[in-house]
Amino acid sequence: MSAEPKPALGGNVLVVDDEASFRRLLRELLTMQGFRVHEAGSGEDALAILAERPIDVVLLDLNMDGMSGHEVLTWIRADKATAFIPVVMITGGATTEEKLRALEEGVTDFLAKPFKTEELLARVRSSVQMKRATDALEDAENVIIALAKVIDARDPYTCFHSDRVSWYAGHLGEAIGLRGNELDAVRKGGLFHDLGKVAVSDGVLLKPGRLTPEEMAQMKRHPVEGRRLLAGMKSLSYALDVVYHHHERSDGSGYPCGLSGEEIPLVARVTTIADIYDALTTARVYRAALTPEEALGIMKNEAEKGWWDARLLEAFRGVLSKVPDSLAPESLGRTRT
Ligand SMILES: [Fe+2]
C-alpha cells in the first residue's frame, strides 16, 4: 500500500519500470520525501503520462518487456515538450556498450541497482533542480518573446512582423549553413530584434508622417535599449548581436555602431535582410506593399550601394520560393523597421 501523495514540494517524479514491486518501493521512498510519484509499467504508459502531466524527472528502467528504456529515452528527447526533462536510467547489469548508447541518446545520469536510499534521493533532487533551472530559462525567453509580440501589436501595421522576420532569417540562416546557437540567434533573435522599441514612445512609434530629427534619434536608440534589456539575461546572450546590430549597414552608414562589412556579426546581417524585406513587402502609411520582385530589386540596388550583404541577398532569393501562405503579408499592413 503506497502512502498518500503529498504536495509535490520536491517535484514530480515518473517511475518507469515493468516490475510493480520496484515501482512501489520507489514510490514509498520518494513520497516520504515530499515528491509526487507517477508510475508507468511500460514505455507506452510512460509516454502517455509525459504527454499529460508536468514531470520533473524520469527514473527509467533500461530493460523492460515491449518498449525498451532506450526507445523511451529516444522518444523523450525527440519531443520538444519533454526534451529537457532529466532522465536517470536505472541499470542492473548494464554493459558499457549499453551505457554508452544511453549517453548518446541523452541520458542524464545512471543509478545502478542495488542502490542506497541516500543515493537515490541525491540523484533525484539534483535532477529536479536541473529541471527547475531549465524551466526558469525557458520562462525568461517566453517573457521576452511575449513582450516583443506586444510591441508588434502596439502598431496594428507591424503585427506579426517579428514572426515573419524570424521565419525569413531562420530559413536564410539554414540556407547558408548556420547551426546551433547561430541558427537559434537568427530564429529567436528575429522574434525579439525590436525589443528595444518598448522604450520608444507611442507618439514616435505610431507617427504616420516623417519623424523629426529628435524623434528619429529616439527611434534609433531601440537597438541600444534592446541590448540593455537583454544584457542581464545570460540565457539570451546568444541573440544580443542580432538585437544590437540589426540596423548596421555594410558601408558603415548604419547604427548604432557604424560597423562595416564582416565587422557586422553574420547573424545580424542575416536578420537585417529579413527585416528590410518584410518592411518593403508590407504596406506603409505612405505606400502599398511592394511585390517580392520589387522589394528584391530595391534591395539589390541598396546592396550595390553598399548597404546590405549581396551574397546573403542572393541566398535569400532561394529562401523566398519556400514561403508558406500563412506568412503572406498582404493583410498585415504597413511597418516601420
Ligand atoms: Fe529594428
pLDDT tens-place string over residues 187-208: 999 999 999 998 888 888 888 8
Q: Say if pTM beats, i.e. exceeds, 0.85.
A: no
pLDDT over threshold 60, residue 62? yes
What is the rounded average pLDDT for all residues in the chain? 87
C-alpha of residue 174 to centroid of ligand 1, in Å: 22
Residues 125 and 200 placed together within one structural domain of the fold:
no
The SS3 of residue 89 is: strand
Confidence of residue 17 (pLDDT cuts 50, 70, 90): very high
Among 102, 134, 166, the domain boundary falls at 134
Q: Tally DSSP H helices, then E strands, for the chain.
A: 14, 5
CA distances from 247 to 157, 212, 220, 230, 337 (A): 20, 19, 9, 17, 9
pLDDT tens-place string over residues 76-121: 998 888 988 999 998 877 788 888 888 888 898 888 888 889 999 9
40 within domain boundaries: yes
At 263 the pLDDT is: 97
At 327 the pLDDT is: 64
Residues 167 and 78 placed together within one structural domain of the fold:
no
C-alpha of residue 77 to centroid of ligand 1, in Å: 35
Helix, strand, coil % (nearest 5) of the chain? Answer: 60, 10, 35
Lowest-confidence pick of 57-61, 62-66, 291-295, 332-336: 332-336
Would you tell me how many other CB atoms lie within 10 Å of the CB of residue 64? 20
pLDDT tens-place string over residues 263-284: 999 999 999 999 999 999 988 7
The SS3 of residue 323 is: coil
At 89 the pLDDT is: 92
pLDDT over threshold 60, residue 337? no
Query: For residues 241, 246, 248 and 250, what is the CA-based torsion angle, rounded to 10 degrees?
Result: 90
C-alpha of residue 80 to centroid of ligand 1, in Å: 30
Among 72, 101, 134, the domain boundary falls at 134
Please state the three-class secondary structure of 180-226 as a single string: HHHHHHHHHHHHHCCHHHHHCCHHHHCCCCCCCHHHHHHHCCHHHHH
Confidence of residue 57 (pLDDT cuts 50, 70, 90): very high
90 within domain boundaries: yes
Residues 168 and 310 placed together within one structural domain of the fold:
yes
What percent of the chain has a predicted confidence (pLDDT) above 70? 92
139 within domain boundaries: no
pLDDT over threshold 90, residue 138? no
Residue partners of 178: CB distance under 8 A and separation at least 6: 186, 266, 267, 270
29 within domain boundaries: yes
C-alpha of residue 190 to centroid of ligand 1, in Å: 10
C-alpha of residue 137 to centroid of ligand 1, in Å: 25
Confidence of residue 10 (pLDDT cuts 50, 70, 90): confident
pLDDT over threshold 50, residue 334? no
Q: Could you check whether the bond before residue 54 is cis, i.e. omega within 30 degrees of 0?
A: no
Residues 194 and 286 placed together within one structural domain of the fold:
yes
C-alpha of residue 250 to centroid of ligand 1, in Å: 16
Among 134, 164, 187, the domain boundary falls at 134
Domain range for 283: 155-327
- Residue 253 CA, chain-centre distance (Å), reads 31
Residues 162 and 238 placed together within one structural domain of the fold:
yes
The secondary structure element, H or E, covering residue 46 is helix 43-52
Lowest-confidence pick of 4-8, 61-65, 86-90: 4-8
C-alpha of residue 337 to centroid of ligand 1, in Å: 5
CATH number at residue 115: 3.40.50.2300
How far is 54 from 50, CA to CA, in rounded Å? 7
User: What average pLDDT does the segment 149-159 reach?
Assistant: 76
Residues 92 and 22 placed together within one structural domain of the fold:
yes
333 within domain boundaries: no
Residues 195 and 262 placed together within one structural domain of the fold:
yes
Give ion ligand 1 contacts, CB < 5 A: 194, 337
C-alpha of residue 271 to centroid of ligand 1, in Å: 10
Residues 260 and 183 placed together within one structural domain of the fold:
yes
Residues 160 and 282 placed together within one structural domain of the fold:
yes
Residues 104 and 232 placed together within one structural domain of the fold:
no
pLDDT over threshold 50, residue 332? no
C-alpha of residue 276 to centroid of ligand 1, in Å: 9
Measured between its terminal Cα atoms, the distance across the chain in Å is 64
CATH number at residue 168: 1.10.3210.10
- Nearest to 109, CA basis, from 91, 97, 83: 91
Q: Which three cell numbers stand for residue 47?
A: 509516454
148 within domain boundaries: no
- Rounded to a whole number of angstroms, the CA Rg of the chain reads 25
At 333 the pLDDT is: 37
At 156 the pLDDT is: 65
Residues 177 and 118 placed together within one structural domain of the fold:
no
205 within domain boundaries: yes
Residues 165 and 236 placed together within one structural domain of the fold:
yes
C-alpha of residue 222 to centroid of ligand 1, in Å: 7
C-alpha of residue 49 to centroid of ligand 1, in Å: 43
Please enumerate, as own/partner, the contacts of 315-321 that have beta carbons within 8 Å and a separation of 24 or more.
315/172, 315/175, 315/176, 316/168, 316/172, 316/175, 316/273, 316/274, 316/277, 318/175, 319/168, 319/171, 319/172, 319/175, 320/292, 320/296
> How many structural domains comprise the chain?
2
195 within domain boundaries: yes
